[in-house]
């Protein structure tokens, strides 16, 4: 489970949903591992969401999250309980912690899985998009345990919370908990602007084809009129036109809005896996062969700099005329 500053991350509950499914297929047990200080209060919620066991490690040195103390506690828990499978959210925390732990335990790790299943021998089949997302590679780790995988938030389904019984077990914390490495001196929290991307009913996403920050302004204006949030592919994030938190796709967020408008986006599968669940997809691209058109309900071929300004004018005049958003 992942928690920061008193907030339990939803991805943990999503992983519990998948873990429950795998445990039911194999007769296994689901354990939720919770580290921090004063975190025991979430145990009941984790049991309701599918955990048979909550393994609890509470210690002042485990708050806030730090890589080395977390790795020590988890490695010790793995040696004690010998899980067959261990799942992490592909969040910034999980993407740092899971590989460290895998290396410590001398086992493998598949990053950014889009699905997980068991084969007849109980091996975990870890589905990962490869070759620019054109294929889905199935990865197995038959010779080492635990089998480890990270999964993006929003990919797995939580199970319906239900009254279930479960056990809470306190993990022993070694007196020599590894506290070397970076220290947290101060925490700055960046307040998200507007609605979070994952919750927006309208997402306007921009790609490399936007060409620069001036073009980005048009996307902001469109979102201002429609209500919603601006998303991005990876290149605009790399260029600094958009924030990391706005990236949609395999290494970013998964969105399922009622309306997704992709502007200047080619439609590489690394991006498409994060938006293909959208209800209606509109794509604007100057290349008639752009792959995004394959997943689009409405296709607009042309230069967005010619398409968006008249569209914005038309929307403004309809809104001024008393039209609904
Ligand atoms: C391991 C891995 C993980 C990745 N994870 C992600 C991820 O999570 N999210 C993500 O987005 N990417 C991710 N990527 C990168 C991904 O593979 C693509 O490179 C990226 O999605 C391409 O972004 P794009 O469509 O904006 O750019 P491009 O592929 O360069 O496409 C730009 C498009 O804009 C069009 N265009 C140009 N000018 C105009 C104009 N004036 N008007 C209209 N259209 C125009 C072009 O025709 C083109 O189709 C990942 C890559 C790897 C290797």
Indicate the top mutation candidate among 112, 134, 234, 295 to test ligand 1's pocket, ranked by most ligand atoms within 8 A of CB: 234
What does the pLDDT read at residue 176?
73
Using pLDDT thresholds of 50, 70 and 90, give the confidence band for residue 89.
Answer: very high
155 touches 114 (CB < 8 A): yes
What does the pLDDT read at residue 6?
84
Ligand 1 centre distance from Cα of residue 208 (Å): 6
Residue 216 has pLDDT above 90, yes or no: yes
User: What is the rounded distance in angstroms from the CA atom of residue 215 to the CA atom of residue 263?
Assistant: 10
Burial class for 29, CB neighbours closer than 10 Å (0-12, 13-18, 19+): middle
User: What is the rounded distance in angstroms from the CA atom of residue 323 to the CA atom of residue 19?
Assistant: 47
Residue 264 Cβ inside 6 Å of ligand 1? The answer reads yes
For the CA of 248, the closest atom of ligand 1 is 9
Q: Measuring CA to CA, how many Å separate 226 from each of 126, 204, 304?
A: 38, 9, 17
Residue 251 Cβ inside 6 Å of ligand 1? The answer reads yes
The pLDDT of 62-89, averaged and rounded, is: 95
What does the pLDDT read at residue 320?
80
Ligand 1 centre distance from Cα of residue 276 (Å): 15
What does the pLDDT read at residue 323?
60
Strand partners, 269: none
For the CA of 291, the closest atom of ligand 1 is 49
pTM over the 0.85 mark: no
**For residue range 252-293, what is the model confidence (pLDDT) as tens digits?**
888 999 999 999 999 998 899 899 999 999 999 999 999 999
Using pLDDT thresholds of 50, 70 and 90, give the confidence band for residue 30.
Answer: very high
What does the pLDDT read at residue 322?
66
Q: Which of the residue ranges 119-123, 133-137, 243-247, 320-324 would you say has the lowest mean pLDDT?
A: 320-324
Which residue owns the Cα nearest ligand 1 atom 42? 303
Which residue owns the Cα nearest ligand 1 atom 39? 209
Of 105, 96, 117, nearest in space to 77 by CA: 105
Tokens of 154: 């929003």
What domains can you pick out in the chain, each with its CATH number? Answer: 3-170 (3.40.50.620), 197-320 (3.40.50.1220)
Residue 69 Cβ inside 6 Å of ligand 1? The answer reads no
Kindly report the average pLDDT of the chain as a whole number: 92
Indicate the top mutation candidate among 90, 152, 249 to test ligand 1's pocket, ranked by most ligand atoms within 8 A of CB: 249
Q: For 62, which DSSP code?
A: G
Residue 297 Cβ inside 6 Å of ligand 1? The answer reads no
Radius of gyration of the chain (CA): 22
For the CA of 211, the closest atom of ligand 1 is 38
125 touches 131 (CB < 8 A): no
Q: Strand, helix or coil at 279?
A: coil
* Residues 6+ positions from 61 with CB-CB distance below 8 Å: 69, 177, 179
Place of tokens 């409405």: 298
Burial class for 94, CB neighbours closer than 10 Å (0-12, 13-18, 19+): buried
Long-range contacts of 96-105 (CB under 8 A, 24+ apart): 96/67, 97/67, 97/70, 97/71, 98/148, 98/150, 100/67, 100/71, 101/71, 101/74, 101/75, 101/148, 102/148, 104/71, 104/75, 105/75, 105/78, 105/146
Burial class for 236, CB neighbours closer than 10 Å (0-12, 13-18, 19+): buried
Using pLDDT thresholds of 50, 70 and 90, give the confidence band for residue 184.
Answer: confident
Q: Greater confidence, 180 or 17?
A: 17
**For residue range 135-168, what is the model confidence (pLDDT) as tens digits?**
889 999 999 999 999 998 878 999 999 999 999 9
Residue 290 Cβ inside 6 Å of ligand 1? The answer reads yes
Half-sphere exposure of 118 (CA within 13 A, CB side): 16
What does the pLDDT read at residue 198?
87
Residue 194 has pLDDT above 80, yes or no: no
Residue 31 has pLDDT above 80, yes or no: yes
Residue 250 Cβ inside 6 Å of ligand 1? The answer reads yes
Residue 68 has pLDDT above 70, yes or no: yes
What does the pLDDT read at residue 183?
85
Which residue owns the Cα nearest ligand 1 atom 11? 233
Place of tokens 């509950």: 13
What does the pLDDT read at residue 177?
80
Residue 324 has pLDDT above 80, yes or no: no
- In the chain, what percentage of residues exceed pLDDT 90? 74
The pLDDT of 53-81, averaged and rounded, is: 94
């Amino acid at each position: 489970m992942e928690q920061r500053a008193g907030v339990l991350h939803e991805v943990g509950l999503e992983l519990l949903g998948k873990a429950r499914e795998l445990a039911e297929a194999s007769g296994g047990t689901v354990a939720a591992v919770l580290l921090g200080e004063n975190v025991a209060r979430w145990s009941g919620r984790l049991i309701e969401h599918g955990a048979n066991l909550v393994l609890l490690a509470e210690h002042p040195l485990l708050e806030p999250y730090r890589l080395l103390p977390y790795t020590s506690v988890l490695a010790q828990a793995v040696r004690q309980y010998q899980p067959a499978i261990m799942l992490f959210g592909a969040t910034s925390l999980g993407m740092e912690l899971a590989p460290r732990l895998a290396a410590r335990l001398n086992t493998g790790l598949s990053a950014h899985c889009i699905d997980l299943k068991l084969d007849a021998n109980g091996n975990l089949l870890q589905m990962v998009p490869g070759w620019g997302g054109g294929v889905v590679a199935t990865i197995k780790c038959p010779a080492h345990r635990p089998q480890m995988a990270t999964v993006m938030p929003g990919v797995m389904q939580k199970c319906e919370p239900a009254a279930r019984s479960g056990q809470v077990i306190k993990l022993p914390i070694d007196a020599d908990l590894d506290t070397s490495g970076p220290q947290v001196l101060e925490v700055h929290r960046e307040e998200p602007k507007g609605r979070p991307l994952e919750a927006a009913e309208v997402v306007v996403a921009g790609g490399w084809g936007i060409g620069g920050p001036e073009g980005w302004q048009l996307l902001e204006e469109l979102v201002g009129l429609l209500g919603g949030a601006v998303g991005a592919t990876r290149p605009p994030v790399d260029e600094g036109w958009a924030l990391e938190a706005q990236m949609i796709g395999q290494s970013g967020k998964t969105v399922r809005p009622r309306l997704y408008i992709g502007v200047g986006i080619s439609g590489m599968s690394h991006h498409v896996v994060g938006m293909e669940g959208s209800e209606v997809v509109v794509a604007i691209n100057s290349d008639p062969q752009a792959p995004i058109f394959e997943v689009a309900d409405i296709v607009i071929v042309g230069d967005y700099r010619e398409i968006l300004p008249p569209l914005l004018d038309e929307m403004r005049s309809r809104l001024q005329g008393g039209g609904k958003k």
